[in-house]
Structure 1
Amino acid sequence: NPNLAGRTQFVDPLVASQLSWGDTLSAFNDIVHDRQGHDTADFLFLPVNDADPTDLDRRGSHWSLLLVDRLNRHSPVAYHYDSSGSYNAGPASQLAERLGARLEWPRAPQQDNTYDCGVFVVDATRELVRQLTQRERP
C-alpha cells in the first residue's frame, strides 16, 4: 500500500533514543516531515530500549515497541508493546510524553526467556503493519 507506506515511519533505534534523551523537536521534525516540509507521518514505529545515556553501566538489556498513531495530530496515541510485561514501562512513558502522546498498554505476546525481545519487536512490527494495511486499528 504505497499511500500507507508514505505515511509510516520506521524510526532508527539511535534516533528513538535521541527522542527520549536529546533534542526532541529537531529529531521529531526530521522524522515526521517530508522533503517539502509537510507533516506526513501518521504512524511512527519506535524501538524502545532501557539504556541510559547518562549512566555508562546501563547500556540497555531489553527492547520493546512503541507505535504512535498520529492520525489525530492534536491527540496522538502511543501503544507500547512489551514482550516482558512492563519491563520498559519507564522508557516508553518517557518517550510517549516527549512526543506528546497519550500512552496505552495493549496486550502483547510474552517471551519466555531473557534474550528474544528483538524478535518480538520485529514480529509485533510485522503484525501491526499487516493490521494497518487491512485498515484495522492497532
Structure 2
Amino acid sequence: MVDLPSTPHELRDDAHYAPAFSSTSADAHIAALNQTASSHGHGGLELGARDWLSDEHIAADYTLLIQELQRDNPDLASRTRLVDPLIAHYHLRLGSESVAARAFQRLVHNQDGNDTADFLFLPVSDASVSDPNRRGSHWSLLLVDRRERARPAAYHYDSAVGYNDAPAALLAQRLGARLELARMTQQSNGYDCGVFVLDGTRALVRRLAQRRRPGMLHLDSLVVDRLALQNRLRC
C-alpha cells in the first residue's frame, strides 16, 4: 500500500512535456493525426511499477487503441479522435487563437475534408509553457461529444477530483464546449493518474461502441490495470 499525499501539491504524477514544436513540425504532427493511425511507435516502451506516465506512454497506447478500433469497429474509429497529449496541451489549450483553430480543423476533418469527429479524447495536463518550473503534476481526461455540432459537451474525468479543473475548463472553452463534471474512481497513490486516463479512455470507447450516451458514462467503478498497460507498451 502507498500512503496518499497529504496535499494536491504532493500528487506528483508525471505530466511533463518536451519543448514546443516549431510551427512547421507542428503542422506535420497535427496532419499525421488524421491518418488511419498515429505516427507514434509503441514498441519497447518501459513502464515500471510506480513510474509516472509521460506523453509518449499516452500517445503510444492511444495508437494501439485506434488500431484496435479500426479493426473491430471501423465506423466508431472514423468518428473518434484520440488526441496526442502534445497537441492537446501546446496547440489546443496554450496555443494562439490561430494555432488552436488550425489544430482543431486538422483534427476534426478527415482526409476528404469532411468533419467526421463526433468524439474527441484529450489528455489534460496542468503543465505550463510560460513557467519552466511548472512542468506538470497531473493528468486527467476530457471527452468532447460533438454529435450536436452546435452544442458540444466536454466531460471531465479526474482521478484527483478538482486538481485539473482550471486546465480542463480552459481547454473546453477553447473547443467551444460546455464543461460537465463526470464521476471517476479516485486514485489511491501518487503515480497512477496517467493509467486512469488510458484505462478510462478504453472504458469509454467500449461504452460508446454499445451506443450509450456520454452523459451517462460515469467511471466511478473504474478499476485500472497497470500490468496490462505495461504489457501493451512492451510489445
Query: What is the TM-score when the length of structure 1 is the normalising length?
Result: 0.98
* Matched position secondary structure for 2:112: coil
CA distance in 2, matches of 1:89, 1:110: 15
Q: Which runs of 4+ in 1 moved over 3 A?
A: none
CA distance in 2, matches of 1:47, 1:134: 23
CA distance in 2, matches of 1:39, 1:55: 35
Where does structure 2 lack aligned partners over 5 or more consecutive residues?
1-72, 215-235
1:37 Cα offset (Å): 1.0
Asked whether 1:56 is paired with 2:128, we answer no
Pairs within 5 Å for 1:18-37: 18-22=91-95, 23-37=99-113
Matched AA of 2:92: L
Counterpart of 1:14 in structure 2 is 86
Asked whether 1:69 is paired with 2:145, we answer yes
What's the RMSD between the two structures over aligned residues? 0.6
1:66 Cα offset (Å): 0.2
Matched AA of 1:16: A
Where does structure 1 lack aligned partners over 5 or more consecutive residues?
none
1:60 Cα offset (Å): 0.3
1:68 Cα offset (Å): 0.2
Q: Tell which structure's C-alpha radius of gyration is larger.
A: 2
CA distance in 2, matches of 1:109, 1:125: 13
Question: Deviation string for 1:104-133 (max 9, x for gaps)?
Answer: 001001001111000100111011001100
Q: 1:3 aligns with which of 68, 71, 75?
A: 75
CA distance in 2, matches of 1:101, 1:125: 19
Matched AA of 2:93: S
Whose strand proportion is higher, 1 or 2?
1
Question: Deviation string for 1:16-64 (max 9, x for gaps)?
Answer: 0110011210000010001111101000000000001111000101000
Asked whether 1:113 is paired with 2:189, we answer yes
Matched AA of 1:85: V
Matched AA of 1:73: R
Asked whether 1:43 is paired with 2:119, we answer yes
Matched AA of 1:21: L
State the aligned residue count: 138
Query: What is the TM-score when the length of structure 2 is the normalising length?
Result: 0.58
